[in-house]
Amino acid sequence: MLLNDCKQKVELAYPCPWVYKIIGRDQEELRAAIVEVVQARECLVSQSNSSSGGKYLCLDVELVVVSAEDREAQHLAFKGHPAVLLVL
């Protein structure tokens, strides 16, 4: 659930673009996880950040979600993948 400054739920108009930030240790494994999760859906993947020691990296995955349920299902699929340590 998204909240605005007044602590009210923000209504999204679907379909809409949504960006997931996925954090992991290995770029190849993260990219493979993206392919597994989004399957045939079109998405844009870009490198976001990496830790100063190079131990962690973040990839942004932008795709169009068609409903709140779809948005949450994608989040849970990324979260459940063994290559993904954190999803924002």
pLDDT score, position 51: 82
pLDDT score, position 64: 97
CATH value at residue 78:
3.30.70.260
List the domain range (segments joined by +) for residue 33.
Answer: 16-87
Q: How far is CA 59 from CA 9, 15, 67, in A?
A: 27, 22, 23
Q: Model confidence at 10, in pLDDT bands (50, 70, 90)? A: confident
pLDDT score, position 5: 61
* 9 lies in some domain: no
* 43 lies in some domain: yes
pLDDT score, position 6: 65
- The domain tally of the chain equals 1
* 5 lies in some domain: no
Tell me the pLDDT tens digit for each residue of 64-75.
999 999 999 999
* 50 lies in some domain: yes
Overall average pLDDT of the 44-54 stretch: 88
Q: What gap in Å lies between CA 56 and CA 29, rounded to an integer? A: 12
* 63 lies in some domain: yes
* 8 lies in some domain: no
